[in-house]
Amino acid sequence: MSGKRRIEEIDVARFIGICLVALQHSGNLHGKNLDFVMIFIMPLFFSLSGYTSALVKERSIPFKTYLAKKARALMLPYLYFTFIYIIINFLYQFKNTRSIDFSITKEMIIKALSFYGVSVLWFLSALFFADLIMQGLLRAAKNLRLLIFLAIVALSITAHFLTNPVADWWYGTAEHSDFEMYLFYLINAVMRLPMCALYLFGGYFAGSIFRYPRAKKKLPAVILHFVYGAVCLALCYLLAAINDGGNLATFYYGKHLYLYIPASILGTVGTLFVSHAIVLTDFRWLLKALTYLGENSLIILLTHLDFYLLYAAVLLTSNIPVLSFHGITRMPMVLAVMMIIEVPFIVLIKKCFPFLIGRKARKKPESLTHTES
């Protein structure tokens, strides 16, 4: 939201979301009790993107300008970080085995070309194409919008029922040709788009009718929003347990799609209630840190896993005896250490390599010279 005042609740929600993403990538550290967050983490980010799209009125931007802006912001980072991940993979393999398995590199390239995405990069490609779907819906003639929306819903349901046949085809054969591998990842990338578009559109609709109130700090309001958030997250946990989880990244919607959607919405809304409660506390020092990290959640997403920053945080905290005996006590420290490590990377990328995240370098003001005759 450049040029406009940022909404603290949105940045705090992004911070909470990226913390949950990092915890899910920490292996066994988070324990089974946090598995349910997979059902709403990525729907949260898609919904927030749709919300901000409504606030900045992207629909009013000429489509050609909008397309160029989105391609620069999402697809350029997708390409740049694909290349970086491949280089890091080369270095990691060579360090451990003194050789390079080019079959792994080939699969990474196929994932990139199919827009399935290497590692976390799936989010960028999915967001780009889902955003195009949403914009197409919003810019269509009024008498076609409902029809297109219903078509997206139908495609989401169809994709859900196609999950098992596609998986059976893939895992039922030991070896696959490069074309079959490309086809498999392309099918996966396409099948998750309708659901991503639905969450984007839901966030857009919310942004069109709702603005966060600038409420003053009041203890009852803080407590009430924390309670609302806790209730929503508890219900999300319950539905996720009944539905056997869900994961938008792999378009796995659990046992029932009709349970996955309300669970993901409850988790998203619960997170937003919690973020609003945190903002209402008005602890400026805390909000400054959380909003900074939330504003830069994309950089954290792109670097925490494949740059091994999370791994470094796990190793560093393992040397603290008080924390290393149990995952629950160690999780906050791992996150704190990881965020501290992330800050130099955020500063470095934004100041020296802004093109990596689709931003233009700031032009230095030309020095003014005045020659007197």
Q: Assess whether pLDDT exceeds 60 at residue 325.
A: no
Rounded to 10 degrees, the C-alpha dihedral 271/209/126/34 comes to 10
Inside any domain, residue 136: yes
Element (H, E) at 53: helix 41-55
Question: What pLDDT does 276 receive?
Answer: 92
In the chain, the percentage of residues whose pLDDT exceeds 90 is: 49
pLDDT at 99: 75
Asked if the structure places residue 370 within a domain, the reply is no
Cβ atoms of 85 and 121 within 8 Å: the answer is: yes
* Helix (H), strand (E) at residue 219: helix 219-243
Task: Give 240's pLDDT tier (boundaries 50, 70, 90).
Answer: very high
Comparison of pLDDT for 255 and 369, the residue scoring more: 255
Confidence of residue 6 (pLDDT cuts 50, 70, 90): confident
pLDDT tens for 190-237 read 989 999 999 998 899 888 888 777 656 688 889 999 999 999 999 999
What local confidence, expressed as pLDDT, does residue 158 receive?
A: 84
- The pLDDT value recorded for residue 24 is 86
Torsion sign across C-alpha atoms 248, 254, 258, 260: negative
Angle separating helix axes 63-70 and 122-139, nearest 10 degrees: 170
Q: What is the pLDDT of residue 127?
A: 96
Q: Is residue 372 part of a domain?
A: no
Count of structural domains, the chain = 1
**Of 44-48, 194-198, 211-215, 366-370, the least confident:** 366-370
Mean pLDDT across 92-107: 82
Q: Sort residue 358 into left (φ over 0), alpha (ψ -120 to 50) or beta.
A: left
Angle between helices 122-139 and 41-55 (to 10 degrees): 40
% residues pLDDT > 70 (the chain): 90
Tell me if 368 is assigned to some domain: no
By the 10 Å C-beta count (0-12 exposed, 13-18 middle, 19+ buried), 187 is classed as: middle
Residue 3 maps to a domain: no
C-alpha pair distances (Å), 202 with each of 13, 22, 44, 245, 281: 16, 25, 11, 21, 28
Domain that holds residue 224: 8-357
Instruction: For residue 142, give the amino acid letter.
Output: K
At residue 371 the predicted structure's pLDDT band, cuts being 50, 70 and 90, is: very low
Residue 255 has pLDDT above 80, yes or no: yes
pLDDT at 96 over 50: yes
- Answer yes or no: is 314 within a domain: yes
| 63 inside domain | yes
* Residue 300 confidence (pLDDT) above 50: yes
3-state secondary structure of 144: helix
Task: Return d(Cα 118, Cα 306) in angstroms, integer.
Answer: 10
pLDDT in tens, 111-146: 999 999 999 999 999 999 999 988 888 887 677 777
pLDDT at 235: 96
> What pLDDT, on a 0 to 100 scale, did the predictor assign at position 35?
77
Given a cut of 60, whether residue 4 has pLDDT beyond it is no
Please report the pLDDT score of residue 186 as a whole number: 92
Q: Which residue has the higher pLDDT, 211 or 296?
A: 296
pLDDT tens track for 138-190:
887 677 777 778 888 888 888 878 777 888 787 887 788 899 999 999 998 99
323 pLDDT band, cuts 50/70/90, is: low
Tell whether the model's pLDDT for residue 370 goes beyond 50.
no
Segment 328-338, tens digit of pLDDT: 677 888 899 99
- Looking at the domain assignment, is residue 373 inside a domain? no
More confident residue, 184 or 35: 184
